[in-house]
Chain A
């Protein structure tokens, strides 16, 4: 688990602007590694030769303005899109282009930016689905064990009072918690959280941040995607900034805050 390469290139803010594209990662540079990831839609290059590595048990911030290619990168890494080029390694194994459900079963879970609950069933049943085995003939759900486990998970993320509500009855923050519970139910080692803070009130941001920190304490590695740095910088250990589909900067929250390129990309406004 050496992490020399990115440490070398991200020693200072000036180093990042100099040669962000030339760095190259290998399978053992982190728990999740993407090397020269590329995704094109027709003629449009959404992600351009983008590389990054996630270290074990860190909270990595994945930051970029709207349309910078965050979600696309995310979808490529989690198997929802097939990358046009590049390599993805997870826990040392190449997983490029593997379907999403296999990634999840390997321990890499995600939440959706636009929440995607199953509207036809209760909160606890939404979570229970994630506990169902990927097998055609399974009746474990009928024995009630999964429901109990699902209820515990709901409780873990703060939905104890909403077990039997329908997702449509939940407030915005509740839906986020549901997304988290559903992802946690797959028993992940790494959790990608897509834009958790969008549309949340300040107090809620704090509570979700606390939850994320607790999850890290329990051994989880987390990648948090956001276009807004304000809430994020206090939460994360390290950040990767993406703009126009390629890496703009990488480093500690402090370094990112002081990086001129980043300030320019955000028009100096959002820091």
Chain B
């Protein structure tokens, strides 16, 4: 009797939450199709219809910019896995990006490894860095863990400067490392397709992980670690898994980036505070704890400053630098201000705002429609450090 009603309720419920294929999946698939079709539209001009104003030409330059943005999107997804899902806010994710990139570049330049070999080594070392930082840091919670992630890259950066003979110091490694599979500026479409394929693959992997049981445990850890332990799950195991997975993917993004025609192994590109900050901005703008949102945010953050560069005709002297710190100084400032504004208006991130806007427009009433990633706007963000405060003030529960 009782079993019938219980399972009956469940089925009824799942029927209701899947009325056909949700619009957001269709939109996502369309987005990927557009990305895949871009190289075919080479030399087309997209604009506002007014000649000379905000015209975007899809040329090799643009494809390379987009490639870099895709790797940054990958990096943002890796941040989201650990910070958005398990709530361990990482302030120094650039460390993994840099470890992956420098390892691969050094192996390639110093020892003649082909990028196809050196990149996996970079990924492994980034994962090892994840273990080195993550395992001891597991004893720490909330702001203390974030402090370690804030400090770790600074320590590593100091070591890099200390041993400039190996790491090239402020100027970076010169000449730059080889291109992946030898695809240079001339084969921009290939460079782009490699990035797109990897981007889709990583997104699929992360979606799978975060939508599996492990993902549910991640978000539960974000809510209440003790409650997770009290149902027989080892929070440390899941946290370290998220941390190392995230580190490895961050390393992969860094290593791949460094072997694009655009990438160089300088620490301002790989390591600067800007990289650490931008990845947070990207994931938060897109929506923490969604993966897809982080990916969109990453592409946005990676691309917009460049577009600002290229579209604003008055600013001469285009120098492609990853992360928006280009010679046209003002773009990152504008970008930061736009971000502040968006954060102020859409605190839950762009993705959630769009989904919720769409749902409202179509008259859906259920509040937990974004339930696949377990969070309503704002609340993910609110809670993570809501927990911090309790820990800082001494948990009066115990």
A–B proximity contact (CB within 8 A): yes
Given the complex, which residues of A lie within 8 Å of B6, measured CB to CB? 148, 151-152, 154-155, 160, 163
B13→A120 contact, CB < 8 A: no
B397→A114 contact, CB < 8 A: yes
Stretch of B135-143, B224-232, B345-353 contacting A (4+ beta carbons < 8 Å): B224-232
A133→B380 contact, CB < 8 A: no
Given the complex, which residues of B lie within 8 Å of A230, measured CB to CB? none
B229→A99 contact, CB < 8 A: yes
Interface residues on chain A, size class: 35 or more
Given the complex, which residues of A lie within 8 Å of B232, measured CB to CB? 101, 104-105, 109, 130, 134, 186
Report if A117 contacts B (CB, 8 A): yes
Given the complex, which residues of B lie within 8 Å of A142, measured CB to CB? 211-213
A137→B7 contact, CB < 8 A: no
A118→B227 contact, CB < 8 A: yes
Stretch of B101-109, B234-242, B258-266 contacting A (4+ beta carbons < 8 Å): B234-242
What does the 1/0 interface line of B367-398 toward A look like (CB < 8 Å)? 01001001110011001000000000000011
A112→B237 contact, CB < 8 A: no
Complex Cα gap A125–B376 (Å): 15
Given the complex, which residues of B lie within 8 Å of A140, measured CB to CB? 213
B220→A129 contact, CB < 8 A: yes
Choice from A78, A101, A120, A132 contacting B223 with Cβ under 8 Å: A120
Report if B44 contacts A (CB, 8 A): no
For chain B, the count of residues having a C-beta within 8 Å of the partner chain is 43
Complex Cα gap A261–B9 (Å): 53
B398→A75 contact, CB < 8 A: yes
B5→A160 contact, CB < 8 A: yes
What does the 1/0 interface line of A136-160 toward B look like (CB < 8 Å)? 1111111010011001101110001
Complex Cα gap A133–B211 (Å): 15
B229→A104 contact, CB < 8 A: yes
Choice from A99, A110, A141 contacting B216 with Cβ under 8 Å: A141
B7→A129 contact, CB < 8 A: no
A80→B226 contact, CB < 8 A: yes
Complex Cα gap A138–B215 (Å): 10
Report if A116 contacts B (CB, 8 A): yes
What does the 1/0 interface line of B187-224 toward A look like (CB < 8 Å)? 00000000000000000000000011110110110111
Choice from B3, B13, B212, B371 contacting A139 with Cβ under 8 Å: B212
Q: How far is the CB of B314 from chain A (nearest CB, A)?
A: 48
Q: How far is the CB of A160 from chain B (nearest CB, A)?
A: 7
Q: How far is the CB of B395 from chain A (nearest CB, A)?
A: 10
Choice from A112, A114, A163 contacting B230 with Cβ under 8 Å: A112
Complex Cα gap A160–B217 (Å): 24
Kindly report which residue of chain A lies nearest to residue B241, judged by CB atoms: A136
**Given contacts A117-B227, A120-B379, A120-B380, A134 and B234 within 8 Å (CB-CB):** yes
What does the 1/0 interface line of B273-286 toward A look like (CB < 8 Å)? 00000000000000
A155→B234 contact, CB < 8 A: no
Given the complex, which residues of B lie within 8 Å of A152, measured CB to CB? 2-3, 6-7
Given the complex, which residues of A lie within 8 Å of B397, measured CB to CB? 112-114, 116
Most buried by A among B233, B379, B397: B233
Complex Cα gap A260–B180 (Å): 83
Given the complex, which residues of B lie within 8 Å of A119, measured CB to CB? 223, 383
Complex Cα gap A164–B13 (Å): 9
A144→B223 contact, CB < 8 A: no
B213→A141 contact, CB < 8 A: yes
Complex Cα gap A133–B213 (Å): 8
Report if A122 contacts B (CB, 8 A): yes
Complex Cα gap A182–B220 (Å): 13
In the complex, which residues 285-331 of chain B have their Cβ closer than 8 Å to any Cβ of chain A?
none
Kindly report which residue of chain B lies nearest to residue A152, judged by CB atoms: B6
Given the complex, which residues of B lie within 8 Å of A113, measured CB to CB? 397
Report if A47 contacts B (CB, 8 A): no
Q: How far is the CB of A188 from chain B (nearest CB, A)?
A: 9
- List 6 tightest A-B contacts by C-beta distance, closest first: A104-B232, A130-B231, A151-B6, A118-B223, A100-B229, A141-B213
